Amino acid sequence: MRSDPLTDEQREIRELVRTLARERIAPRAAEIDESAEFPWDMVELMREHELFGLAFDEAHGGSGAGSLMLLVAVEEVSRACATTGLVLAVQELASLALRLAGTDEQKNRYLPRLASGEWIAAYALTEAGSGSDSAAMRTQAKRDGEEYVLNGSKRFITNAGVAGLYTVFAKTDPDGGHAGISCFVVEADAPGFEVGRIEPKMGIKGSTTGELFFNDCRVPADNLIGEEGEGFKIAMRILDRSRPGIAAQALGIAQGATDYALEYAKNRETMGEPISEHQLVAGKLADMETRCEAARGLLYKAGSMIDEDAPGLTKVSAMAKLFCSDTAMDVTTDAVQILGGYGYIKEYPVERMMRDAKITQIYEGTNEIQRLVIAREMVREARSSVLAEVS
């Protein structure tokens, strides 16, 4: 009996990615974390093996393998290196506006370069004063003939400084709230565009996170994605489809920590037996494995729903992101505990995994926001209690 919804072909791709992660990516993970430098060699590796194109249509240079297959790849890569897994996940995130709402001309111009990995992409929604509250953004875009002029700034942008293409959200109607937000493609060499401070971080240290500045930044009017005022709707459609990418990163971290803790526990002896035989340690390992498997079920369901364009994605996507990231934090904490003092030092990878796990509860919508989204969708559902008639 199959334990997952993958086809034989998808399982074969998973095995290829798993081998690549084990043999080529894992040996670089600690060095990437230590140097805090963007891993261009890992980008080149993923280009060579066409991982960037998994979720892109064949018409735009991808393999057409679908969103579920991309999530599987992000999970497998993140088991070895969360930074490298994030590069793959954000390429999907930052391309979705074009794929969902771009014109044919925009798609033909940009998507092949993203599918091949020739250009790294970034998604610029968050500002210093508008994280969960996107209506409070202050970056503006004003039409000036055949161009838009952007002014403002963005904060906490993944791939800042290394991306060739930025998906940027700005207010075309400053007083319009959510309805005043529009979406643009901004190339890295656009006049008036500048990358600011790159943040030193607790985890995923090889991934750049930084500020963007738009100082009378001019982009062609043709770079507007969708219509004016559609930016918020586009952003929400994107997040429904991109949050599972962070869930996949989180699950990969959790599974990698579980695997390492298990191997350590089988070989570390106290009181004359492996610590994996001690009930309290065995209980932790059992809980870690169970949580990973449960998280994988939610993740794969979300991926299948994206591929099938199934209704109810908003709720399941939020659930997958919430549960996988909470699992990553809980599991990596337990992994450090199982290793004891060794778990707290950099020679062993679980301390890095614990640091990497934390951000998955924060970006792409904090887990507090995910709980609000899930509850909101529950209230909207047409369902009732089996006890509703009992009084």
> Cα separation of 147 and 375, whole Å?
41
**Contact by Cβ (8 Å): 60, 108:** yes
Q: Identify the burial level of 237 via C-beta atoms within 10 angstroms of its C-beta, where 0-12 means exposed, 13-18 middle and 19 or more buried.
A: middle
DSSP code, position 386: T
How far apart are alpha carbons 306 and 310 in whole angstroms? 7
Quote the DSSP letter at residue 127: B
Yes or no: say if 123 and 93 are a contact pair by the CB < 8 Å rule.
yes
Kindly state the tokens that stand for 342: 């060794």
The two tokens of residue 293 are 């498997």
Q: What's CA 114's distance to the chain center, in Å?
A: 16
> Contact, 181 vs 125, CB < 8 A?
no
How far is 155 from 182, CA to CA, in rounded Å? 18
Neighbouring C-beta atoms of residue 201, cutoff 10 Å: 17
> Contact 25/43 with Cβ under 8 angstroms?
no
Q: Residue 194 catalytic? A: no
Beta strands per DSSP E along the chain: 121-124, 140-144, 147-158, 165-171, 181-187, 193-198, 209-220, 224-225, 269-270, 273-274
Residue 365, Ramachandran bin (φ over 0: left; ψ between -120 and 50: alpha; else beta): left
- Catalytic-role residue among 75, 211, 230, 364: 364
What is the spatial distance between Cα 135 and Cα 373, in angstroms, rounded to a whole number?
17
Residue numbers annotated as active site: 364
